[in-house]
Structure 1
Amino acid sequence: MKIEELINNNYNKLNENDIYILKYILQNKTECFNLGITELARRCNVSKTTILRCIKKLGFEGYSEFRIYLKWKENDLDKTNNNIVEKLIIDINQTINYLKDRDFTEICKLIYNAENIFVYGTGAPQRVVAQALKQTFFAANKYLYMIEGEGEFEGLIDKITKNDIVIIISLSGNTTSLESYTNKLSLKGVEFISITKLINNKLSTKTQYNLYATTSEFLLKSGSEYEAFTIFYILIEVLFRHYINYEIDMKNSKLKNEC
């Protein structure tokens, strides 16, 4: 369990001094596992007893055990992050293998026949991916309307018809607000395409038109999690190229019928 989780689990036991001490430790993890209790107390301007009481509230017997835990977690992070490049390559290869086997015909047909195409990203990184999707399809004279936020989505739902489609980009596919939007779209007979990471998620169960990318999280030194969206751009490029091929097939089929 990470130190942040320990703090969250025991937060109701902590007083103002404890929170101050733990905030200092979180901001200086690498330094703190090398500090003795006397030096940490000096830096936090509290007594050694206050430090010890704080540590015990997290479930540790003493300060030495806490230091060992901090060092172990830091080393564990280093070992994990040694493999982050390898993880990225694995994620890319898994996504490419999935995309190679995926039949894009029905999704391309949906895009080709749509009167209007709306694209929505659930967060800031997802909106960047949505913008890239819009720009990519613009090269084929296919215009995608960006939905800028939940308020705009809510306002547009009544205007979207069953002749339109919506492309929804969500990392987890479990964003709470999406359920309301997808239910309303389904009731109106509006088809939508979900683009998510390759996990079981609510969004992908609401539509037969799903695209996935494999992504892995890793920890930064700050303790925060990072997950790359790079692989979603590969997915977009593959989708676009399949669409171009579909357009060519439709054009050739039309010419053949006219002859």
Structure 2
Amino acid sequence: MSVLIKLRDYRNLPEAESEVRKYILKNSKEVLEMTVYDVAKNSYTSPATVIRLCKKLDLKGFNQFKIKLASEIRGFDNMQLDILDVTNVSPNDSPVMIIDKITNIERQSIEETRMLLNEKDLMKAADHLHNATIIDFFGVGASNIVAFDATYKFMRIGKNVACYQLYDRQYVQAVNADAKHVAVIFSYSGETKEMVEVLNELQKNGCYVITVTCSSSNTLAKLADNSISVSSKETLFRSGAMASRITQLYIVDILYALCCQYDYDNVKAKVVKTRITNKDKVS
């Protein structure tokens, strides 16, 4: 888990912890040479506030934070990533400039998501998907598009899958699930009201739930059996919708490929069998 990305994406922190967060993000390299007292002084907070923030990052204290920070700064430098970069698309941009900016947003989002990924969580998710009798996919808005993409991929390898566009049908889908079902919920914010309601119904029925959300603390990630985090570079419009969709699709591709490895030859045959060619099309 990247502490820098998690810090950047944190929302609704207490005011004092938010000041520490801002200071560290703006002065990450300088922080490596500081004590907890230095950071507290420079952010106009207290050592206790700095340590509380470190513990919210699942770290024992400030020293462990600095060890993680040093490693990440090297990684960001090697990939030429700027943790605070906000790419703006302006009215005067040429088509080439817009193409380059969008390419950069999506490339960096995928590279940051790679830094967030936990191999054990991914393998655990893939194992449950492989063994599931039925896989249910959920999401609203842009996340619903990702859910349908996942549905098609897993259907091609012979999995019994379900996905609906309208929320009322997704809710009924959740109510009718049982322990034989594995559910995957896509929601970048992790706070989508409808998806929280769906998750509660799924868990009432003993359904194993995997969520794909942002890296910051959120309701869906806390409640899920397995949560996978993605990154999203901010844009001028601050929604991150384009980048979050790309990173969610990236997770779908990884889980799909991992599941294919369980029975590679059989899966390959199914993919070939379900490939639509010109001769299969009806004129």
- TM-score range normalised by the length of the shorter chain: 0.5 to 0.7
Distance 1:230 1:247 in 2: 27
Letter in 2 for 1:191: Y
Letter in 2 for 1:202: T
Query: Helix, strand or coil: the match of 2:196?
Result: helix
Aligned to 2:112: 94
| Structure 1 stretches lacking a partner, 5+ long | 1-75, 252-259
Shift of 1:86: 4.1
CA change 1:77–1:243 in 2 (3 A) is: closer
* TM-score scaled by length of structure 1: 0.57
1:130 aligns with 2:147: yes
Q: 2:126 aligns with which of 104, 108, 117?
A: 108
The answer on whether the counterparts of 2:135 and 2:183 sit within 8 Å (CA) in structure 1 is: yes
Letter in 2 for 1:193: I
State the superposition RMSD in angstroms.
3.0
CA change 1:100–1:200 in 2 (3 A) is: closer
Letter in 2 for 1:212: S
How many residues are paired up? Answer: 171
The answer on whether the counterparts of 1:94 and 1:214 sit within 8 Å (CA) in structure 2 is: yes
Aligned to 2:256: 240
Letter in 1 for 2:133: E
Aligned to 1:188: 205
Letter in 2 for 1:218: T
The answer on whether the counterparts of 2:163 and 2:170 sit within 8 Å (CA) in structure 1 is: no
Matches within 5 A, 1:31-50: none
Distance 1:234 1:105 in 2: 15
Distance 1:177 1:171 in 2: 13
Letter in 1 for 2:205: K
Matches within 5 A, 1:187-226: 187-219=204-236, 225-226=239-240
Shift of 1:215: 0.7
Say which structure, 1 or 2, has more relative contact order (CA 8 Å, 6+ apart). 2
Shift of 1:189: 1.2
Matches within 5 A, 1:166-181: 166-181=183-198
CA change 1:197–1:186 in 2 (3 A) is: same
CA change 1:188–1:122 in 2 (3 A) is: same
The answer on whether the counterparts of 2:121 and 2:227 sit within 8 Å (CA) in structure 1 is: no
Distance 2:266 2:103 in 1: 41
Shift of 1:140: 1.4
CA change 1:85–1:112 in 2 (3 A) is: closer
Letter in 2 for 1:93: E
Aligned to 2:271: none
CA change 1:249–1:85 in 2 (3 A) is: closer
CA change 1:248–1:103 in 2 (3 A) is: farther
Aligned to 2:241: 227
* TM-score scaled by length of structure 2: 0.53
Distance 2:187 2:255 in 1: 17
Residue-by-residue CA offset, 1:66-111 (whole Å, 9 max, x unaligned): xxxxxxxxxx8759x9976544332221212334745422212211
The answer on whether the counterparts of 1:108 and 1:246 sit within 8 Å (CA) in structure 2 is: no
Distance 1:142 1:197 in 2: 27
The answer on whether the counterparts of 1:118 and 1:147 sit within 8 Å (CA) in structure 2 is: no
Letter in 1 for 2:207: V
Shift of 1:226: 4.8
State the percentage of identical aligned residues: 18
The answer on whether the counterparts of 1:154 and 1:181 sit within 8 Å (CA) in structure 2 is: yes
| Structure 2 stretches lacking a partner, 5+ long | 1-87, 268-283
The answer on whether the counterparts of 1:99 and 1:238 sit within 8 Å (CA) in structure 2 is: no
Letter in 2 for 1:175: T
1:160 aligns with 2:163: no
